[in-house]
Amino acid sequence: MSLDPRLAGSQWRTLSGEQVDLIAIGHNWAGEAIEAAEENSLQGLPTLPLPYLVLMKLISSRAIDTADLQRLLGAASDEQWQAVRSLVASELPRDLEDLDALRQIGLWERGG
């Protein structure tokens, strides 16, 4: 069950037995995120840029994603942090206070 009605998901197993989670996003920014991933190639694969990854983790509402956010935001450069905060402010403004707290916890974890 998802808390966000614009999310849908399913789980699959590969032939070798590995689990694959598929999440479908019905948010207005989902298309932009896919385009940004296509332009952000890491090791030859399209990769979601940090600001969109943060949005996805914020809307998923899973505890593991919250912990991931602390680590990701604590390790983000000032430039990356500003890009994340700007995108969250435009798409999920109600989550800005939580986002700032997650960043601070991540910085504390890294000794900052």
Q: What share of the chain is helix, strand, coil (3-state, %, to 5)?
A: 60, 15, 25
Contact 21, 60 (CB under 8 A): no
Measured distance between the N- and C-terminal CA atoms of the chain, rounded to whole angstroms: 37
The domain spans of the chain are 28-109
Question: For residue 55, is pLDDT > 90?
Answer: yes
Helix (H), strand (E), coil (C) string for 24-63 = EECCCCHHHHHHHHHHCEECCEECCCHHHHHHHHHHHCCH
Cα separation, 31 vs 44, whole angstroms = 20
Question: For residue 24, is pLDDT > 90?
Answer: no
Residue 89 pairs with which residues in a beta bridge?
none
pTM: 0.81
Question: For residue 86, is pLDDT > 90?
Answer: yes
